[in-house]
Amino acid sequence: MATEIWHDFGPDAPVSLIPVGGGHLQLFANGEALFDRKAEGGIYPEMKRMREIKAQIKQRLASLA
């Protein structure tokens, strides 16, 4: 997931990946949760979901410009 995001948006993307014990993983952009592995059934996002996440990041970057 991190590789996908930083490949598209670079290392300065306003994104934080937070691994938490027990396989819990959260993704935040500008303080807002974009992905919560536990809430989404304990799986990593498939390509369709990754596209949605990247679109949300792109919207946030556009609003900062």
Q: 10-residue block means of pLDDT along the chain (65 residues)?
A: 85 77 82 89 91 91 78
Edge-to-edge strands of the sheet including 32-36?
Answer: 15-20, 24-29, 32-36
Between CA 30 and CA 54 the distance in angstroms is 14
What is the number of domains present in the chain? Answer: 1
State residue 49's pLDDT score: 94
State residue 6's pLDDT score: 85
Which of 58, 51, 50 shows the shortest CA–CA distance to 29? 58
CATH of the domain at 35: 3.40.30.10
Domain boundaries, position 13: 2-64
Between CA 2 and CA 21 the distance in angstroms is 18
